[in-house]
Amino acid sequence: MAYDASIFQVLPERATSYIIAKTTDWDIVRSNFDYFNAPLNTSLTGIPGSTTNITTTSTSFVNVSGLFSATFTTVGGRVWVTFWCTVTATVDVFFDLTVDGTRFGIGWSAGITELATVVATPFALTIVIDGLSAASHTFNLQFKVTSGTATVSTQGRVSQFTATEERQI
């Protein structure tokens, strides 16, 4: 099932009579509705008021935890990875994302983003990944510090990690 735009036409400005759609066109319209009503390829990991916080003292990137991880099979489309949480750190904290074990921000030692010393600061980020093959992929949020401790606070707070594949038209 694929989206088909071939049936859409611009009506003449002063048409006196015009056949809007043929029977085969209605089949295409129905197929398009079926396509858009099909579920998205997505994986959602929500942590509604978890009872534990996730901390690190690592100076190398490590997975935040299995709670900030998603695995699902894509059809080769663009994937949007979104996460939000609350962060507390006594020093700078760096975040990155891995796709199948490979760091997304591999060109930067600091990862894809950095937060300076923060106290219970809400943090959100969306990353768009293009060029993935049609296969099963695993996405993991990672973090590290220069020294000291960083905490992703999930205790009593809502945190979420989502990976969603765009529909291909």
pLDDT 10s digit of each residue in the chain, 169 long? 555 555 555 555 555 554 555 556 667 666 666 666 665 666 666 555 566 788 899 999 999 876 788 888 888 888 889 888 888 888 889 999 999 999 888 767 777 777 787 777 888 888 899 889 999 999 999 999 988 999 887 766 667 888 888 866 5
Answer whether 129's CB lies under 8 Å from 83's CB.
Answer: no
Torsion angle of the four alpha carbons 145, 147, 149, 151, in this order, in degrees rounded to the nearest 10? -10
74 phi and psi angles, rounded to 5 deg: -100, 165
Please determine, looking at this structure, whether the domain spanning 42-165 carries the CATH number 2.60.120.1340. Answer: yes
Residue 67 φ then ψ, to 5°: -70, -25
112 three-state secondary structure: coil
Would you list the domain boundaries of the chain?
42-165
pTM over 0.85: no
Nearest alpha carbon to residue 121 among 147, 80, 93: 93
Contacts of 120 (CB under 8 A, 6+ apart): 86, 87, 88, 153
Contact 68, 83 (CB under 8 A): yes
What is the per-residue pLDDT for 125?
A: 87
